[in-house]
Amino acid sequence: MENTSAKFPIRLVEELILLMLDEQSGYLEMVPGWNFSCVMAGAVLADLALEDRIDTDLDALYPVNSRPTGDNLLDPTLKEIAESKKKQDTQYWIERNTGRSDDIVTATLDRLVEREILEHESGGFWGLSRSVSRSGTYPASDLKVRQEAKTRILSVIMNDDSIPDPRDAILIALMHTCGGFKLLLEPEDYEERLERIELVAKLDLIGRTVATAVKDSTAKPRTRRVLRTKPIPKLRYTDILRQRDFRSGNIPKAMHGIFQEHGPVVELPFKMRKSRVIALMGPETNQWVNKHGRFYLRSKDYIKDLESAFGASRTLPGMDGAEHYRMRKELKSAYSRASLAGRLPELVHHCRQSLSRWNEGDIFRAGEAFQHHISSQISHLMIGVDCSHYVDELLEYEHRALVTQVQGALPKFMLSTPKMRRYGKRVRELQEAITASHTPGQRRGKPADLADAILGLHKNDPQFLPETDLTFPFVASMVASIYLGSGLAFAVYSMVRHPDLYARIRREAELLFGNGRQPEAEEFSHDTIDVTVRLYMESSRVHPVIPWQLRMVMNECIVSGFQIPAKTMLLICQTVSHYSDDLFKTPLKFDIDRYLPDRAEHTTPGAYAPYGLGTHMCLGNRWVELQMVVNLLLIAYHLKLEVLPANYKLGMNPFPTSAPNKKLKFRVAQVTDLA
């Protein structure tokens, strides 16, 4: 990809974003709203003035040179000003441009990553790149401005003798207008430096004009109310029932039908937690959630009842903002592919041990059997305990908790039936077993696992991760084995249904595991597991285990031209795009070649999202891929499976997450090389 950013000087919008970025949280200090949008729009106008494309006087803002700058951050605004028949003032153009602010922020963040000033981390967080943090200067030598924004601007503010560059005076004026210095400085420093800030803010004429217009817009907007939005289509139950794919439990396909008929944003005909429920569908809304969801959406509301069922007050999936960023960072390595790769022999051992239960002629139920198969791996590898004697009861309790506390598909008291109360005791048992097996003496010489990471975090900062919040992440890892089990059942089904792929995967397995070989983790490379990886990717496209997720709108937002008020429940159907024929050629065909480099259909932004979107995107996705691949390879190597009955047509149970229905069974036709 061409590095376009190097062509342009660093823009005011870029530096404003850098000034507003909180490096501790990976978030912008200021939540996009009207004020923020006005400041961004003002910065674009100031940049156009610095490029001698526009000028302003007391009554009007007018073009002086309409030739495009070639910069997509500035040109749409310049074009609009140049084409306007009527002379308007600066305030008008600021307000007019607020509608572009989400696009401006997105393009700016992308450009800062391209310039290697920011780094983009998984989950959509941003941080200053290591070289910029260390040196305090921007990396590219051809940038006119060398010293990084915060260092430069703070030195102007703190030092009465420094004479600011006119451009810095504009930045200071804009930051001051949106109250940015209150966030950047400690309160006492802000009080003390206010006079200096105000003095510098007035130094430059453009800065002064733009800042006044921004201030007027934030105080008494003239055009805010005329932002046009579309009415959200309201579905009736019959609109939903008409989608026949709901009957087979295929949520993404059924919701894709709704998307085609009604568009990307629809109101569903029921309420959740007394709130309206609005579904978002398709690649455009996926991109919106990825890029902007953090400013407008919150997870806490949908998950808090599940958290309290396990005695927790805060959990990784229920956190947002700075705390969430910190928790993800603390646990990232425990959930990483590298952490599983380091324990490959154990993974292979547990997988083989579980497969060895099966003999030729055995028949088993896919969903249940693979959940068991995976949970033995997860419990050993993540939390270092053997809970095989009560895992069924534990998983059933967790399953019921998801259905009653998150989805509300069953009433809440169904988690307190005598059976569930009995099963609930297994959660305590699990917690006690983990604590007992993770003392320093017990863990000596053993590789650190997730439980070590969680208990270590608790020990180092018991306020951040208190004792009450320890059970949830342990339970969550066992819940992940429900997802993995379903994912594996779907993938094995796809493999068995495509004998050519089954044979190719077996060949990959023979090269890695044949003649008693124990492959090293590095051997699981692109070339050696290519078909297996692509089969798993395609299975996750066609049968995603988590097809949708819930969020609460915490700030009013506009998505795809629809205005969504605060306190609305959003059903983000991120996998609807998996069935779009604009994105995936013949989407109903199981075709692993769509992931080959010359097609790479999954790489279109917003197209492929089996692991969710935005800040809460699955932290274990690379771990999952390796675990799945190893399991598929070993199954293909050791077992010849047949679907039973042979004419079985895949049906799905969509709650709480998608799994093959109970009718899917496999018969073990042949066992090879399994002692």
The CA distance from 400 to 409, in Å, is: 10
Identify which of 536, 557, 554, 532 has the alpha carbon closest to the alpha carbon of residue 545. 536
Structure tokens at 61: 């803002």
Using CB under 6 A as the binding rule, whether residue 484 contacts ligand HEM is answered as: yes
CA-closest candidate to residue 451, choices 468, 429, 436: 436
In 3-state terms, what secondary structure has residue 111?
Answer: helix
Closest approach, Cβ 332 to ligand HEM, in A, equals 9
Residue 610's contacts (CB-CB under 8 Å, 6 or more residues apart) are 540, 541, 544, 545, 546, 575, 578
Cβ-based nearer residue to ligand HEM, 328 or 594: 328
Q: Which stretch binds ligand HEM (CB under 6 A): 23-31, 109-117, 132-140, 615-623?
A: 615-623
Tell whether residue 616 is a contact of ligand HEM (CB under 6 A). yes
- 164, 252, 620, 656: which one contacts ligand HEM (CB under 6 A)? 620
Q: How many residues bind ligand HEM (CB under 6 A)?
A: 20
Q: Kindly tell me which residue out of 213, 281, 619, 668 binds ligand HEM, with binding defined by CB under 6 A.
A: 619
Determine which residue in the list 483, 562, 584, 608 makes contact with ligand HEM, applying CB under 6 A: 483
Interface residue with ligand HEM among 140, 410, 618, 643 (CB under 6 A) is 618
Residue 503 and residue 450 in contact, taking contact as beta carbons nearer than 8 Å: no
The reply to whether 264 sits near ligand HEM by the rule CB under 6 A is no
Question: Among residues 16 and 374, whose Cβ is nearest to ligand HEM?
Answer: 374
Q: Would you put residue 567 in left (φ > 0), alpha (ψ -120 to 50) or beta?
A: left
**257 lies in the site for ligand HEM, by CB under 6 A:** no
Report the distance separating Cα 486 and Cα 636, nearest Å: 17
- Cβ proximity to ligand HEM: between 295 and 611 the closer is 611
Instruction: Fill in the per-residue mask, 421 to 460: x = in contact with ligand HEM (CB under 6 A), - = not in contact.
Output: ----------------------------------------
- Indicate whether 624 belongs to the interface with ligand HEM (CB under 6 A): yes
- Shorter beta-carbon distance to ligand HEM: residue 541 or 594: 541
Residues 287-346 that bind ligand HEM (CB under 6 A): 316-317, 328, 335
Sign of CA dihedral 357, 359, 362, 366: positive
CB 574 within 8 A of CB 289: yes
Using the minimum distance from each CB to ligand HEM, give the nearer residue, 123 or 180: 123
Instruction: Please pick, from the candidates 623, 632, 636, 639, the single residue that binds ligand HEM as defined by CB under 6 A.
Output: 623
Site map 148..187 versus ligand HEM, x via CB under 6 A: ----------------------------------------
- Which window, 460-468, 617-625, 644-652, 660-668, contacts ligand HEM (CB under 6 A)? 617-625
- CA-to-CA dists, residue 384 to 349, 456, 473, 506, angstroms: 15, 15, 14, 31
**Shortest Cβ 449–ligand HEM spacing (Å):** 11
Residue 232 or 319: which CB sits closer to ligand HEM? 319
C-beta separation of 345 from 519 below 8 A: no
| Smaller CB separation from ligand HEM, 328 or 380 | 328
What is the arrangement of strands in the sheet containing 265-272, beginning at the earlier edge strand? 265-272, 275-281, 569-573, 549-553, 297-298
DSSP string, 159-171: -TT----HHHHHH
Containing 125, the helix (H) or strand (E) segment is strand 125-128
Query: Which is closer to ligand HEM, CB of 19 or CB of 395?
Result: 395
Residue nearest to ligand HEM (CB): 620
659, 664, 661, 666: which is closest to 486 by C-alpha? 659
d(CA 164, CA 151) in angstroms, rounded, equals: 13
Matching residue, tokens 């391209």:
114
Q: How far is the CB of 337 from ligand HEM (least distance, A)?
A: 9
Q: Report the greatest alpha carbon distance in the chain.
A: 88
Nearest to 587, CA basis, from 240, 238, 245: 245
Strand positions, DSSP E, 321-421: 363-365
**Is 38 or 331 the residue whose CB approaches ligand HEM more closely?**
331
Q: How far is the CB of 59 from ligand HEM (least distance, A)?
A: 50
Nearer to ligand HEM, 267 or 625 (CB): 625
- Among 74, 153, 480, 495, which residue interacts with ligand HEM (rule: CB under 6 A)? 480
Question: What are the C-alpha distances in Å from 553 to residues 170, 296, 297, 423, 550?
Answer: 34, 6, 5, 35, 10
Stretch that binds ligand HEM, among 14-22, 185-193, 272-280, 476-484 (CB under 6 A): 476-484
371 binding ligand HEM? (CB under 6 A)? no
Interface with ligand HEM, residue 487, by CB under 6 A:
yes
Q: Binding of ligand HEM at residue 282 (CB under 6 A)? A: no
Q: Per the omega criterion (within 30 degrees of 0), is the bond before 656 cis?
A: yes
Binding test (CB under 6 A) with ligand HEM, winner from 364, 493, 611, 666: 611
Q: Which two tokens stand for residue 309?
A: 């069922």
The mark string for 530-569 relative to ligand HEM (x by CB under 6 A, - otherwise) is ---------------xx--x--------------------
CA dihedral 458, 463, 465, 466 (to 10 degrees): 80
- Are 488 and 374 spatial neighbours (Cβ–Cβ below 8 Å)? yes
Find tokens 């592919």 and name the residue.
337
- Min dist. Cβ of residue 664 to ligand HEM (A): 17
Nearer to ligand HEM, 96 or 328 (CB): 328
Residue among 26 and 612 whose Cβ is closer to ligand HEM: 612
The nearer residue to ligand HEM, 180 or 610, going by C-beta atoms, is 610
Kindly state the smallest distance separating residue 550's Cβ from ligand HEM, in Å: 7
Length of the chain: 675
Q: Any contact of residue 608 with ligand HEM (CB under 6 A)? A: no
Beta bridge partner(s), residue 42: none
Residues 113-152 that bind ligand HEM (CB under 6 A): none
List 54's β-bridge partners, or say none: 63
Report the relative pairing of strands 639-644 and 665-671 from DSSP bridges.
antiparallel
CA–CA distance, 128 with 353 (Å, rounded to integer)? 46
| Interface residue list for ligand HEM (CB under 6 A) | 316-317, 328, 335, 480, 483-484, 487, 545-546, 549, 610-612, 616, 618-620, 623-624
